[in-house]
Structure 1
């Protein structure tokens, strides 16, 4: 889903253009990594509202070595804490769905979705052999 740190005018369009494709095409999975936090948060809200079959295709990642992995995941934790505290969130979609994010949903984004994706991929590989 886009990229991060681009300093040219077309960058915003590149951030936002691929986002809806994941909702339309079930074979597309995204690792959220080198991307602006506002876009990452908006994607998390959009895909969570769309339901588990969509939100299961997003994975939190780290763009290390460009950033420290602990910093990236510390940022995710802070972002999820803000989303879990829905009644005080700045995004109306979250305030209007105060219980949209839970510890369990955050845990899936923080590693559970990727683990489930890899397990299914390995199953498909093993079925072919």
Structure 2
């Protein structure tokens, strides 16, 4: 998928999740992860680190060398996305208390990810193969 499509989807999901309330923490965390993944792909495509047909689905599913390559260029973005992914098993699939606070954390991380991705639009990075 091309960078501009990832941005469009990330923005659309972010607008939708803003309608969720405190009791919707599972959906908020899921949406933050999905939007964050689109932002990550947007940033990596803008920086020419990944091709449009090379999209992240989950950071945990990346080959170690690919994750390292991406982390050289976008370390904070990938750290934040990884943190959102770590919330999912506990609060979306599990029954750990503190769901509303975890959802707030996921939204804060999503804001960080979006800021990094927007910076990538105006930056150029040489391609890392």
TM over 0.5: no
Bigger fraction of residues in helix: 2
Q: Which has the higher strand share?
A: 1
Name which one, 1 or 2, has greater alpha-carbon Rg: 1
Q: Which structure's relative contact order is higher, taking Cα pairs within 8 Å and 6+ residues apart?
A: 2
Task: Tell me the TM-score normalized by structure 2.
Answer: 0.31
Give the TM-score, by structure 1 length: 0.31
